Chains A and B, each alone.
Chain A
Amino acid sequence: MRRISQISFQAADASTRQRTLRAYVWIVFGRLFGYAALLLVAVISLLPLAWMVSTSLKAFGREFPFPPQWIPNPVVFGNYLTAFETSNLARYFGNTLMISVLATLGTVISSSLVAFGFARLEFFGKRVLFIILLSTLMLPVIVTLVPTFVLFKTLGWIDTPLPLIVPWWFGGGAFGGAFFVFLIRQFMLQLPRELDEAALVDGASYFRIYWRIMLPLSKPALAASAIFSFIHHWNDFLNPLTFLNSEEWRTLALYLRFFLYTEAGGGAGLTRWNLMMAASVVMLVPVLVIFFSAQRYFIRGVALTGIAGR
């Protein structure tokens, strides 16, 4: 926009008028091209999800029409009912929800406290500790998975949701959770120092400063962390696969995989892709709800961690 006005301003000079016209044409052309490219990429980007939804509404045995059919005929909404009736989908949904909520709660509370310590307090060895914290971000999760499995087995936690929840209450000390400390700290660093200094002079304790000043001001970062954390746990496959094995605590991710290997894998005639896709959509819906309701935090949050790469 700015460039156009700049150019039209210059157009007062008659000798440049023709050049200006050409510039306009280029700008219009460039915009059209920009839209066309965006549209194409957006369509390709959403195609798989559209196909997922479309298949979830197709009648059994009609999941593979030729040529491919985007709008199912007939539309079978009953697939969703069948998906819930023929399995314990509701229980798996509840399990996943409980684990994700509790782990997220722990992540936000403990990580924000640790982030406050690293952002605002001065103590011996802070720099070294922070470098250690950052380096755990690069540690492959699988390396600590084997020994932590032994640890949880000794504690008798295998096949309970505890290994998926408790480590997340330790301020990002486990499984790459340092990411959240980092994100919140980056945000807290931007807050004016005068706030806590004034509170200190007034005799407030550090914990009070954290609870009453920093936490309310850090809401955008906390929201971003909560969303990331929830989606991470909701989508997680590796940890539930490792620590849970009975049906009682099965999560949605485990169920989808189980479904693929038992029902869908039982030969071409038995493949129930429509139900499989219905279950996938059921798993997708909460993520979408959160994503759409808190999008601005989400994208800001990603950007916040990336800027730090500078």
Chain B
Amino acid sequence: MGIRPIGQRRHLIGYLIISPWIAGFALFTAFPMIYSLFLSFTKYDLLGPPEFVGFSNFERMVSDHLFLTALGNTAFYTLLAVPVQLLLALFMALLLNQKLRGINVFRTALYLPTVTPTVAFVVLFVYMYNPEFGIFNAILGWFGIPKQGWLTDPNLAKPAFIIMSLWHVGGQMVIFLAGLQAVPETLVEAASIDGAGKLLRFWHVTVPMISPVIFFNLVLGIIGSFQVFASAYIATNGGPKHATLFYVLWMYRHAFENFRMGYAATLGWVLLGVILVFTLIQFAVSRRWVYYEGEGT
């Protein structure tokens, strides 16, 4: 053992300290990804060894009529749910950004549903969506609207899930709120001295200032929505008429109900590709509308 140069020792210590992550990343992320890529070219039912089948999983996927159904359902859900969620979260954050007494109580009230366990929440909504006696139809009844089969009507099932998801936007709301509170007051006041009204100030000062936060919520919201699973698995199991057969649910069935691990691995990689494309597009478009302080416009 000689004396190690200080620089080299420092590198070693650094790696030692982060070694749990390196090991975890190798074991539970990198290796599974590579293994999954390998599996996607095989037929594997967990009983026998994986059997190499070339590109046939991909061919099968393209000709699978449920592929487009599942992808379409998921895209429909995502493209509708995420904007509505973000608008609602921003609206609630704006309400919470007022300087009012007792605002903390309201913040708690608005955030609370978000920590409710998904399963408990979905089960509750199944009960509330009950076509005969559910509270949703009772409320509609007050306005003279006839009873709806929320989870049994193929046209309503996806909107029913979107409505349900609106009670879980607390995370986005708090992030918006933090963004709003970071907007320098001097900027807003300067605009107001220049004679800008509330709406104008909001649109030309607040929105550009919080655009990085909007972008953050948008990117993560889309990634999250593409993985919608538990609600559909529990409430409708993909029905009625495949209306809520979302991509991850469909993939999950292949993997863990039919044990087509090879095919499921293929579907996983395709999902990853789709999400990646969506994310890259957003990053490219973001240059046009996201304003980062210190970069200039």
Give A contacts to B, CB under 8 Å: 1, 31, 34-35, 37-39, 41-42, 45-46, 48-49, 51-52, 55, 63-64, 66-68, 110, 113-114, 116-118, 121-124, 126, 129, 132-133, 136, 138-151, 153, 167, 169-175, 177-178, 181, 206-207, 210, 231, 234-235, 237-238, 241-242, 252-253, 256-257, 259-260, 268, 273, 276-277, 280, 283-284, 287-288, 291-292, 295, 299, 302-303, 305-307, 309-310
Contacts and interface: CB of A to CB of B under 8 A. Distances in A.
B152 to A, nearest CB: 14
Nearest to A143: B268
A117 B120 contact: no
A260 B17 contact: no
A253 B119 contact: yes
B279 interface: yes
Contacts of B35: 147, 150-151
Interface string B216-229: 11010001001101
Q: What range describes how many residues of B lie at the interface?
A: 35 or more
A34 B100 contact: yes
A299 B271 contact: no
B171 to A, nearest CB: 6
Nearest to A308: B216
A291 B132 CA distance: 35
13 contacts: A46-B113, A114-B17, A117-B18, A146-B265, A151-B32, A169-B20, A169-B24, A237-B233, A303-B174, A306-B216, A307-B179, A309-B216, A310-B213
B127 A276 contact: yes
A64 B107 contact: no
Contact of B36 (A37, A39, A64, A147): A147
Given A114-B17, A144-B33, A171-B21, 4 more contacts: A49-B112, A67-B138, A129-B22, A288-B115
B248 interface: yes
B115 A150 contact: no
B48 to A, nearest CB: 13
B11 interface: yes
A48 B256 CA distance: 32
A148 B177 contact: no
A224 B130 CA distance: 37
Contacts of A63: 127, 133
